[in-house]
Amino acid sequence: MAPRFNFLLHAFFCLALATTSFSLSPKFYDNLCPQALPAIKRIVEAAVHREPRMGAFLLRLHFHDCFVNNDLELIFFVFQGCDGSLLLDSSFALGTEKNARGNFNSVRGFEVVDQIKFEVDRVCGRPTVSCADILAVVARDSVLALGGPTWKVRLGRRDSTTASRTLADSVLPSASMDLPALINNFKNQGLNKRDLVALSGGHTIGLSQCLIFRNRIYNATNIDPAFAKERRATCPRTGGNTNLAPFDPTPARFDTAYFKNLVKERGLLTSDQALFSALPAIKRIVEAAVHREPRMGASLLRLHFHDCFVNLIFFVFQGCDGSLLLDSTSAFETEKNARGNFNSVRGFEVVDQIKAEVDRVCGRPVVSCADILAVAARDSVLALGGPRWKVRLGRRDSTTASRALADSVLPSASMDLPALISNFKNQGLNTRDLVALSGTGFTMLPILILLLPRSVEQLAHEPVETLTSLLLTQHLLDSTLHTSRTW
Ligand SMILES: *[C@@H]1O[C@H](CO)[C@@H](O)[C@H](O)[C@H]1NC(C)=O
């Protein structure tokens, strides 16, 4: 099974286990009523066949049922995650969760659940299968009916006799959340960043309403312009609130198009694109800058190279650490004034623009300047028609710089070959790297591209800390996309 679905299942199981781990088993109904699960599958298949969008509704029902879960349950056993509470209508004792902000006018599929409940009670001869279990099995069977994978659902949940609209109001994630808000929202339910990405993948099926995505298609900067235009055609500035648009180009197929879309900045909701916003923003700005002035590609690549080259192991300077970006202070003189940089390094205004935009789309400063330089270098080469390579991320920015060090290590244009070789050797580079890296003059671009990633990795400061939340999320997306090919 693809890792992505392990995450998905893991997340569902966590939600389920949080409430009733003592009794859950995939075989729970094997003796009690062996006809139950086939009956559910039959009805789900027919409903999804009639209206593919029903698959998305049924998956969402389960998610929204499970998500309304409270730590207090451990003490009071009132709210229990996947407990069917979403199905309860209002009474004098409770306000139905169906009216919560994230559900009102958007949860659907209750008639299918009612039909299943009726049929399952009939084939079992009496009420045997809980509504909470029905929702869990229905979600699995919906995904399967739309071409997704299957998984074992652990069963034996008990139904809640109460519900909380207030709680649902406060915990259900909203489409306008940025990444920090989403991470926090899922964390409050005991779910981690991987769970967030995996569960967001549920948007590989289904549609959303204009009212929900209008702000993004008219206001967002981290959106593919052609995509925004396409969506605006059926979602006007005013009116048309219930007009629909698919989350991805294949809304009736459980596939990875949703994630591929995010990489192209074609996420429909703010909360979708929030999962993958830093790298596309860098690419977008680099492409525009290189388009305006092709030489900027070389300048940005050179910035990264000169940042990385100033490196001393076991000393304060650590290679690709953004030190080149620092201006002079009372404590140090900027590397920008070093012999190899003065009057020749440029592109800082593009880096500043990237930094501002990345901070904005991420909701806070999470991407280091050193990583921005590394990615901008890669994207510059890409924008000039070169190949793409994976950039390892997670660098920390230096808080200091050294003009003297930069003066002494940056190769001078006037050095003879032995001097150059010894200069590169001091940086842990061999003759092949020298040939490759000297290609920054762009006479040897193809060789440079083959060797640069490896050389840069040798130079790069590899932090022992775990990656930032954003980078972890993006890495997961990368691996998700990669894994998709095995499907
Ligand atoms: C765009 O953003 C502004 C400011 O937040 C807001 O007032 C406006 O309604 C938004 N436009 C749309 C079409 O949502």
CA angle at 448 for the pair 443 and 452, rounded to the nearest 5°: 155
Beta-bridge partners for 318 = 311
215 lines ligand 1 (CB under 6 A): yes
CA of 215 to the centre of ligand 1 (A): 6
Q: Which residues, listed in sequence order, are joined to residue 207 by a DSSP beta bridge?
A: 246
> CATH 1.10.520.10 residue ranges in the chain?
3-172, 278-484
Q: Rounded to whole angstroms, how far apart are CA atoms 435 and 405?
A: 22
Report which of residues 165 and 443 the model is more confident about.
165
Quick one: which H or E segment has residue 24?
Answer: none
Q: Rounded CA gap, 64 and 113, in Å?
A: 14
Per-residue pLDDT for 373 more than 70? yes
Catalytic pick from 62, 64, 304, 461?
64
* 108-123 average pLDDT score: 94
- Give the angle 70-72-74 at the CA atoms, nearest 5°: 100
**Contact between 94 and 162 (Cβ < 8 Å):** yes
pLDDT above 50 (res 454): no
Reported as a pLDDT band with limits 50, 70 and 90, residue 7 is: very low
How buried is residue 323: exposed, middle or buried, by Cβ count under 10 Å (0-12/13-18/19+)?
buried
The predicted pLDDT at position 42 comes to 98
Q: How far apart are CA 266 and CA 273, in angstroms?
A: 7
What does the angle CA 248 – CA 254 – CA 256 come to, to the nearest 5 degrees?
A: 60
pLDDT per residue as tens digits for the range 219-256: 999 999 999 999 999 999 999 999 999 999 999 998 77
Q: HSE-up of 249 (CA within 13 Å, CB side)?
A: 10
Mean local confidence (pLDDT), 417-430: 56
CB atoms within 10 A of CB 114: 12
- Is 352 annotated in some ligand binding site? no
Give me 481's structure tokens: 């996309």
54/56 Cα distance (integer angstroms)? 5
Q: What is the CA radius of gyration of the chain?
A: 27
Residue intervals in the chain for CATH 1.10.420.10 = 202-273
Summarize the confidence of residues 90-118 as an average pLDDT.
Answer: 81
pLDDT 10s digits, 405-416: 787 777 665 555
Is 50 exceeded by the pLDDT of residue 15? no
Global pTM reads: 0.74
**Pocket test residue of 209, 210, 218 for ligand 1, highest count of atoms within 8 A of CB:** 218
Atom of ligand 1 nearest to the CA of 219: 1
Q: Is the CB of 214 under 6 A from ligand 1?
A: yes
Examine the pLDDT at 72 and tell me if it is beyond 70. no
Higher pLDDT, 422 or 182: 182
Is 306 annotated as contributing to ligand binding? no
Per-residue model confidence (pLDDT) at position 67: 79
- Residues 136-182 pLDDT 10s: 899 999 989 998 877 788 888 888 777 777 777 778 899 999 888 98
pLDDT at 364: 81
| pLDDT band per the 50, 70, 90 thresholds, residue 427 | low
Decide whether any atom of ligand 1 lies within 6 Å of the 126 Cβ. no
Please give the pLDDT value at position 482.
Answer: 31
**139: helix, strand or coil:** helix
Nearest CA to ligand 1 atom 14: 215
Most informative mutation of 178, 214, 219, 232 for ligand 1 (most atoms within 8 A of CB): 219
**Ligand 1: centre distance to CA 469 (Å):** 29
pLDDT band at residue 20 under the 50/70/90 scheme: very low
Q: Is the dihedral of CA 418, 423, 428, 429 positive or negative?
A: negative
Of 115, 152, 113, residue with least CA distance to 132: 113
DSSP 439: G
Query: What DSSP letter does each residue of 263-298 carry, written as one string?
Result: HTT--SSHHHHTTS-HHHHHHHHHHHHHHH-THHHH
User: Mean pLDDT lowest for which of 73-82, 124-133, 163-172, 301-310?
Assistant: 73-82
The alpha carbon of 443 and the centre of ligand 1 are apart by a number of angstroms equal to: 49
For residue 306, indicate whether it is catalytic. Answer: no
What pLDDT band is residue 333 in, cutting at 50, 70 and 90?
A: confident
Residues 6+ apart with CB under 8 A from 108: 54, 57
Distance 484 CA to ligand 1 centre (A): 36
Report, as an integer, the average pLDDT of 112-132: 95
Distance 218 CA to ligand 1 centre (A): 7
Residue nearest ligand 1's atom 12 by CA:
215
Instruction: Identify residue 221 by its one-letter amino acid code.
Output: T
Q: Is 237 in the pocket of ligand 1 (CB under 6 A)?
A: yes
Is residue 255 a known part of a binding site?
A: yes
pLDDT digit string, tens, across residues 178-204: 888 988 888 887 777 767 877 888 898
* pLDDT above 70 for 348: yes
What is the atom index within ligand 1 of the atom nearest the CA of 215? 14
Residue owning the nearest CA to atom 10 of ligand 1: 215
Give the architecture (CATH level 2) of 278-484: Orthogonal Bundle (1.10)
Q: Going by C-beta distance under 8 Å and a sequence separation of 6 or more, which residues neighbour residue 443?
A: none
- Between the ranges 12-16, 114-118, 453-457, where is the mean pLDDT highest? 114-118
Mean of pLDDT values over 310-320? 52
Q: Is 204 annotated as a binding residue?
A: yes
Structure tokens at 336: 């920008």
Q: How much is the average pLDDT of 94-122?
A: 85
How remote is the C-alpha of 262 from its chain's centroid? 8
Minimum CA distance residue for ligand 1 atom 11:
215
- The CATH number, out of the four listed (1.20.140.10, 2.60.40.10, 3.40.50.2300, 1.10.520.10), of the domain defined by the range 3-172: 1.10.520.10
Mean pLDDT computed over 364-375: 86
The residue type of 360 is: R
211 vs 438, more confident: 211
- Please give the residue that has the higher pLDDT: either 288 or 65: 288
Ligand 1 and 218: CB distance under 6 A: yes
45 belongs to an annotated ligand binding site: no
**359 marked as binding residue:** no
Distance CA(196)–CA(213), nearest Å, equals 19
Quick one: pLDDT at residue 268? 98
Distance CA 451, CA 304 (A): 15
Q: Is 219 in the pocket of ligand 1 (CB under 6 A)?
A: yes
Looking at domain 202-273, its CATH architecture is Orthogonal Bundle (1.10)
| 83 labelled ligand-binding | yes
